[in-house]
Amino acid sequence: MEFVLVGFSNLPDLRTTLFALFFLTYLVTLSGNVTIITTIHVDRTLHTPMYHFLAVLSLSETCYTLVTISNMLAHLLMESQAISIAGCGAQMFFFLGLGCSHCFLLNLMGYDRYVAICHPLRYSVIMRPPSLPHPGSPGFLLRVLGGFDGHQHDLLLTLLPQRPRGALLRHRPVLRLSCVGSAGIALGVFFLSVLVVLVSFLVVLLCYGFIVAAIVRMPSAASRHKAFSTRAAHLTVVIVPFGCASIIYLQPESRGNPEQDRLVAVFYTVVTPLLNPVVYNSAQPGERVRDCPLSANLKEHAARLVWKAGCARKAGNLRASSVAPAKGRGRCHLMETAAAAAPPGGIFPSFLLLAFVALAAAALGAAHHLGLLFQLMHKYEIIRKSRLPGRIAPLPTCPGALALVLDHLAPPPPRAQVDKTSIQHGGENVAAVLRAHGVRFLFTLVGGHISPLLVACEKLGIRVVDTRHEVTAVFAADAVARLTGTVGVAAVTAGPGLTNTVTALKNAQIAQSPVLLLGGAAGTLLQNRGALQAIDQMSLFQPLCKFCASVRRVRDIVPTLRAAMAAAQSGTPGPVFVELPVDVLYPYFIVQKELAPARPVKGLMGRVVSWYLENHLANLFAGAWEPQPEGPLPVDIPWASPQQVQRCVEILSRAKRPLIVLGSQALLPPIPADKLRTAVETLGVPCFLGGMARGLLGRNHPLHIRQNRSAALQKADVVLLAGIVCDFRLSYGRVLSHSSKIIIVNRNRKEMLINSDIFWKPQEAVQGDVGSFVVKLVEGLGGQTWASDWAEELRRADWQKEQAFREKASRPVAQHLNPVRVLQLVEETLPDNSILVVDGGDFVGTAAHLVQPRGPLCWLDPGAFGTLGVGAGFALGAKLCRPDAEVWCLFGDGAFGYSLIEFDTFVRHKIPVMALIGNDAGWTQISREQVPSLGSNVACGLAYTDYHKAAMGLGAQGLLLSRENEDQVVKVLRDAQRQCRDGHPVVLNILIGRTDFRDGSIAV
Ligand SMILES: Cc1ncc(C[n+]2csc(CCOP(=O)(O)OP(=O)(O)O)c2C)c(N)n1
Ligand SMILES: [Mg+2]
């Protein structure tokens, strides 16, 4: 599994500029910090506590920037924004695990300055110079990264971390993505952040408050001015990182503005590390040292180092590192190394410290898991809300701060508490989000785990349609997503309900269809304890979905669903999964009854367990019914850059025989199908249409070329592959000519370049939304037209192929009806207001050549996954979205087996759709190749089953077409249509014979 850093992926044009900018900043930061460390290392006069802290800070910055900025720079350069779990874990370690120690270090520096200014005479006693190794020496580095020798300063210094900043990998998204149990950790992190960031900041401010007071009391104006300017520089170094950290770690997630967050994260990651070097290299850093800035010291020491090397050579057996400049400038004397001078350090205290930190973290985590922190969280929310615009927002003065503390202690307003009397349930929260996102249908197969959300959806007017198999529910949601351009939603029960959806979900993933799957789950406390239908569902769905989350508290339902909805539609659309454990969906009193001990508790252990359960319950329902924003979050769509569009305009404008192949992605929102159609017509370039783009130009459009695609692609000099990729459908790219210029546009970069440089090479590869790219391309070409002979040549080839079809249609077959003839009559009868659904092998493969969808978004096929069994679900979704359209579903007899039982669903829900079964008593597409190549028809045979009668048994209408009524095909089709218009689902069982129409087509 990998995580994907959102980072700057939606600003492709700015990447190079940002890279240059950040790289330069990084170089300045690095050299600045190295300057500081080196200067402090070589200059003994700087071996004071303050400079030790500063050196440690610089080293920490160096390590931090090495980890974060280098990662960010690499991701700016790379196409893939993926980061491995290990990489992610390492990053998060730097951000969170050691964050607090940086705050402690800034506290120490503040305290050091406070002692130096306010108690100068006692400075040397209070701030006893630490016996640390020289900054920059290996011993120093070791100290910094973990060891200490027991002295107070050293101990605090060893807390030094790589400073944890947001970079572009933030802890919240990672926690969200980690799915399991993230809520507990998240609150733990939040609480820790309050403790560390806020408390440390207050301590620093307090120190500087005293310093300012002391400076004001200074008698000389010149020294006041000097002291003020120095402190102001120090304060900047402190305030800026703390300010950013507060925004990043303390801001509640629901309020987060992604753009603003990114800005803060970038500032925190790139700019704040620059502060130390800039401020300390340019300003006078302290009272106890000379007046020149560190950079001047460095120049001087560089000269001395050269000279020292000479000394060392002369010293012979003495190491160069044992030579250090003496206090008196221009002189050099020998001294013992700092490492040798340092008192021996012990490893035991390190373990103690580690154990203490681990214990504290465990205690915090447990406290949160038990719900002990939720009240604090609510109180913080209340205080934060009271500071929103419109209410008084004074900076906490001393009485103000006191009031704030008192407010903490006062009982919170009723809404923030767990409302034990409420009969509301989490299912209502689910329904509210779905309604706010315009969801009109929810497909399901019921189960106790998900009942509350179904009932709540029904109450809010969302039509709940229950199918006979979970896979149908997800196929139906997929069809809704494709036809409406929104998210299709299905909800199924825990365990087997979910496993039954896997095929449909994978199909949606491969077809890039935004589907939201809601799944029940065992109660949060019963997972991994052998509960009914309980399995590890998250592991099952993570490879299938763009976004997977397990909701652990009622109040998390709304934000999780909003994030899931946005993720489904962003970038390359696809399915998302949200797991809703049973106890986040049912009302408090029911969950409480389940959790409450059956008998009164006795003994210590009983009481502990009961206390644990009470707290768990409280945490589950805390803030459950507080109002939250429910509407859609912004969707992130990649756009082609104007420069890329311009380059493509130029390529196309020089073309003599241009050709377009439009695929499913072209029909994705935001460009409506009609606008795309107008754009393609204006462009006037002949096109092939595939997937969801079928039907874009309507029936018999002069620009729509339907046959001989491979030959046409070979002849074209410029080919625009718009929303279609070089997979098996384009022979992995082999079908493209090496002499053609290929422009490819796709939202998904990896798919766009699939098999490139092996079988084909793009002239322009444009990552972005396809529909809007085509519209911009047309605008750029400004009405350019092409000689009509190229389109005519292609149309002539089309006509010849269709002539061959007509001949095949007229040939008699050994038994039953000729499928080619039947499908030609279907083509003639199909009404304009129709949607075609296809599910099967050879019969529907033949139909794809002969039957034309009547308009855009009037064709549904499974897509590249080639899944049998999509028919009923697709028909269900299609008819619900477009109740006025006639849904004609073309099935192979094998494929129809998956859908038959759903005629019960169509009957119960009064959903009149028409099924036309090409019944050839076999899995013909497979047997067509299996028999000649392997010599057996094993497992490929079926019977001429009376599917129409089976459907009648389910309450649908059934009709039969066979040799008996061969001359009545159109009449029977019209009868079926009429019955459908009367509100009945119809199954038309068409007995067909074999033809050679599909010979040579692929079966595997
Ligand atoms: C779920 C699934 N199972 C198996 C296949 C393999 N497969 C592809 S086409 C086909 C035959 C389809 O038979 P039928 O629906 O009767 O259509 P026909 O080829 O006979 O016209 C099979 C089994 C598949 N694509 N999907
Ligand atoms: Mg068949």
From ligand 2's centre to the CA of 324, what distance in Å?
A: 90
DSSP conformation letters of 552-594: -SGGGHHHHHHHHHHHHHSSS---EEEEEEHHHHS-HHHHHHH
| Count of alpha carbons within 13 angstroms of residue 659, beta-carbon side | 28
- CA quadruple 187, 188, 194, 197: dihedral sign: negative
Residues forming a β-bridge with 488: 515
Q: Whose CA is nearest to atom 1 of ligand 1?
A: 868
From ligand 1's centre to the CA of 920, what distance in Å?
A: 12
Give the CA distances from residue 681 to residues 664, 685, 844, 967, in Å, rounded to whole numbers and listed in that order: 18, 8, 28, 39
The answer to whether 772 and 639 are in contact (CB under 8 A) is yes
CA dihedral (225, 226, 232, 234) in degrees, to 10, reads -160
3-state secondary structure of 864: coil
From ligand 1's centre to the CA of 893, what distance in Å?
A: 9
Q: What residues contact residue 1 under an 8 Å CB cut-off, 6+ apart?
A: 85, 542, 543
Rounded to the nearest 10 degrees, the angle between the axes of helix 398-409 and helix 374-386 is 140
Strand pairing class (332-334; 323-325):
antiparallel
Residue 895 CA: nearest ligand 1 atom is 15
Give the residue ranges of the chain where pLDDT is below 50: 130-169, 179-181, 254-256, 283-293, 295, 298-299, 302-303, 305-346, 388-416
Terminal-to-terminal C-alpha distance of the chain: 29
Question: Is the CB of residue 894 below 6 angstroms from any atom belonging to ligand 1?
Answer: yes
Q: From the DSSP assignment, how many helices (H) and strands (E) are in the chain?
A: 42, 21
Tell me how far apart the alpha carbons of residues 501 and 515 are, in angstroms, rounded to a whole number: 12
Instruction: Please give the angle made by the CA atoms of 409, 411 and 415, to the nearest 5 degrees.
Output: 135
From ligand 1's centre to the CA of 251, what distance in Å?
A: 54
> Residue 659 corresponds to which tokens in the numbers above?
């050709």
DSSP H stretches of helix in 887-946 = 893-899, 902-908, 924-934
Say whether pTM exceeds 0.75: no
Tell me how far apart the alpha carbons of residues 204 and 211 are, in angstroms, rounded to a whole number: 11
According to the model, what pLDDT value does residue 18 have?
A: 74
The answer to whether 847 and 925 are in contact (CB under 8 A) is no
CB atoms within 10 A of CB 587: 19
From ligand 2's centre to the CA of 946, what distance in Å?
A: 14
From ligand 1's centre to the CA of 507, what distance in Å?
A: 15
The answer to whether 956 and 985 are in contact (CB under 8 A) is yes
The answer to whether 459 and 430 are in contact (CB under 8 A) is no
Q: Which ligand is nearest to the CA of 921?
A: 2
Residues comprising the chain, all counted: 1004
Question: Is the CB of residue 768 below 6 angstroms from any atom belonging to ligand 1?
Answer: no
Tell me how far apart the alpha carbons of residues 208 and 204 are, in angstroms, rounded to a whole number: 6
**Nearest partner of 404 among 389, 377, 382, 388, judged by Cα:** 382
Question: Is the CB of residue 819 below 6 angstroms from any atom belonging to ligand 1?
Answer: no
What secondary structure letter does DSSP report for 760?
B
The answer to whether 164 and 98 are in contact (CB under 8 A) is yes
Q: Which ligand is nearest to the CA of 898?
A: 1
| Count of alpha carbons within 13 angstroms of residue 835, beta-carbon side | 27
CB atoms within 10 A of CB 341: 12
Q: Which of 916, 923, 989, 1004 to mutate to test the pocket of ligand 1 (most atoms within 8 A of CB)?
A: 923
From ligand 1's centre to the CA of 840, what distance in Å?
A: 5
Three-state SS string over 123-145 comes to HHHHCCCCCCCCCCCHHHHHHHH
Residue 896 CA: nearest ligand 1 atom is 15
**Nearest partner of 794 among 719, 720, 712, judged by Cα:** 712
Question: Is the CB of residue 869 below 6 angstroms from any atom belonging to ligand 1?
Answer: yes
> Residue 757 corresponds to which tokens in the numbers above?
């440089």
DSSP conformation letters of 329-384: TT-EEE---HHHHSPPPBSHHHHHHHHHHHHHHHHHHHHHHTTTTHHHHHHHHHHH
Tell me how far apart the alpha carbons of residues 823 and 851 are, in angstroms, rounded to a whole number: 7
Question: Is the CB of residue 842 below 6 angstroms from any atom belonging to ligand 1?
Answer: yes
Question: Is the CB of residue 843 below 6 angstroms from any atom belonging to ligand 1?
Answer: yes
Strand pairing class (2-4; 82-84):
antiparallel
Strand pairing class (764-767; 834-839):
unpaired
According to the model, what pLDDT value does residue 511 have?
A: 97
Amino acid symbol at 871: G
DSSP conformation letters of 483-505: HHSS-EEEEE-TTHHHHTTHHHH
Q: Which of 510, 837, 868 to mutate to test the pocket of ligand 1 (most atoms within 8 A of CB)?
A: 868
What phi and psi, each to the nearest 5 degrees, are found at residue 4? -120, 125
According to the model, what pLDDT value does residue 234 have?
A: 66
Q: Whose CA is nearest to atom 3 of ligand 1?
A: 868
According to the model, what pLDDT value does residue 405 have?
A: 44
| Count of alpha carbons within 13 angstroms of residue 530, beta-carbon side | 0
**Nearest partner of 475 among 63, 745, 861, 83, judged by Cα:** 861
According to the model, what pLDDT value does residue 97 have?
A: 59
Q: In Å, how far from its chain's centre is CA 308?
A: 56
From ligand 1's centre to the CA of 805, what distance in Å?
A: 23
Tell me how far apart the alpha carbons of residues 769 and 671 are, in angstroms, rounded to a whole number: 9
The answer to whether 400 and 394 are in contact (CB under 8 A) is yes
Tell me how far apart the alpha carbons of residues 169 and 775 are, in angstroms, rounded to a whole number: 35
Give the CA distances from residue 993 to residues 815, 822, 987, in Å, rounded to whole numbers and listed in that order: 5, 11, 19
